[in-house]
Chains A and B, each alone.
Chain A
Amino acid sequence: MSFCDRCGGPVGEGDHTACLAARQLEPPRFCPHCRRRMKVQVLPAGWHATCVEHGTL
């Protein structure tokens, strides 16, 4: 895991505490491996997130 899945920033840089808190009520948006924006589908009882390179989370 190299990138924050909410803001896409490098995990080792900056503070992602707010991202982590926000993720309680948001699906991930960035692939944690390559920081590409993922295709995200939210359903009433769940979500799917897919990176073109790294597949479905």
Chain B
Amino acid sequence: MSERIMAAAERVLETGVGLDEAGVLAVLRAPDEQLTPLLEVAHRVRMRWCGPEVEVEGIVSLKTGGCPEDCHFCSQSGLFASPVRAVWLDIPSLVEAAKQTAATGATEFCIVAAVRGPDARLMAQLRDGVAAIREAVDINIAASLGMLTQEQVDELVALGVHRYNHNLETARSHFPLVVSTHTWDERWDTLRMVRESGMEVCCGGILGLGETVEQRAEFAIQLQELDPHEVPLNFLNPRPGTPLAEQPVLAPKDALRAIAAFRLALPRTILRYAGGREITLGDLGTREGLLGGVNAVIVGNYLTTLGRPATADLELLADLKMPVKALSAAL
């Protein structure tokens, strides 16, 4: 059995074609003693099919809290007794956030809003924000504003937003237990429009939402079918006041198994460490992930929680001899 997994992983390395669902499941269920060899082959797959560069990104919340949706992991839903208050970021602070991001050497700056989808006010704020950032900072601008209409997709393209994030969050079969105010298929519709528009698709999710290991494999294969440019992997950081406040954090070894499994499912995708890595894997986890298939990081703080200092990640990348992807290479 264990030799079969390693043989399948070696085939991914040779062909650049991701594992099937049974293969992903086998990696997610691999015994502890096989974890290190699996992370090693996932790393070789990443080096061969993506290269040594690491894509560095900063993110900021343009509109925080007060969201009408009920994603059970989210401290920004207005439907839970979360301590996160609704607040809008002003344009000077948005530009400051972009400058802080660029100062780390990052090539990506993602503007995020806690909404079901954008309204006219949000689109206007985004328009002004993008223009102000362009005046001040040289960086790729991405956005994450929930579900879009075709007109909004077209407007984002016209603004030069080069990548759009919209997470499927979890397996289709698990989604109704996590979100009741919209469906997985509605999210898929937005992703399809984004794809057709020519913007890069960024789509990942959160592990540790109470999904089974089988559903984790299902999710990896659904992402494989979508074939996004980037997959951000979050690990649940249980937030006070949310329905998942008492959900246990993923075991570190299961998180590492998932990293190897998602890389082996998605050999050519940018696989980004996003939220929850600090609390799930501790300081050493970032290193293990970067040597196990991860080739992108969010540096600095997240939307409502804090990350470790950007310098810690940058020093680690230097130590690992992994160059930060440069803007010219990213364009």
Contacts and interface: CB of A to CB of B under 8 A. Distances in A.
A42 B302 contact: yes
Nearest to B237: A25
- Counting chain A residues whose Cβ lies within 8 A of the other chain, the interface size class is 20 to 34
Contacts, number: 72
A3 to B, nearest CB: 12
B271 to A, nearest CB: 21
Interface of B: 58-61, 64, 83-85, 87, 89, 93, 96-97, 100-101, 103-104, 240, 278-279, 299-307, 310
A37 interface: yes
A47 to B, nearest CB: 7
A43 interface: yes
Given A40-B85, A44-B301, 20 more contacts: A25-B278, A26-B305, A26-B306, A27-B305, A29-B85, A37-B83, A40-B87, A41-B64, A42-B303, A42-B304, A42-B306, A43-B93, A43-B96, A43-B100, A44-B97, A44-B104, A45-B103, A45-B310, A46-B100, A46-B301
A53 B302 CA distance: 27
Contacts of A47: 301, 306
Interface of A, helix, strand, loop or mixed by DSSP: mixed
Contact of B300 (A7, A24, A40, A44): A44
Interface string A28-42: 011000000111111
